[in-house]
Amino acid sequence: MSLTLSGQGWKAPPLSADAEALKESQALLAKFVAAEAVKRELAKARNDLESYIIDMKEKLETDELIIKVGRVCDACSVLVSRGVWAV
C-alpha cells in the first residue's frame, strides 16, 4: 500500500521577508515580555505582602500569649503573697 500526500498539509507557510512585518513581530514580542515581567513583579509583591502579614500575625499572637501568661503570673504572685496559695 502506498501513501500519497497532496497539498500544503503539514508544511508551514513561508516566513515573510518583509522588514516591516519583522519589526511589528519584534515589537509585539517585546510587549509580551514586558507584560510578563510586570505580572511576575506583581506576584512577588503579593507574596511578600502575604508573608509579612502572616509574620506579623504570628508575632502579635505570641505577644498576646506572653501578656496573658504575665497576668496569670501576677495573679499567682498575689495569691502566694496573701498566703492563699502555697508554692
pLDDT tens readout for residues 52-85: 998 888 877 776 766 776 666 666 676 667 666 6
Using pLDDT thresholds of 50, 70 and 90, give the confidence band for residue 2: confident
pLDDT of residue 80: 65
Q: DSSP secondary-structure letter at 19?
A: H
* DSSP H or E run through 22: helix 19-81
- Say if residue 86's pLDDT is above 60: no
pLDDT of residue 45: 94
pLDDT of residue 13: 62
Per-residue model confidence as pLDDT tens digits over 9-58: 666 666 666 788 888 889 999 999 999 999 999 999 999 999 999 888 88
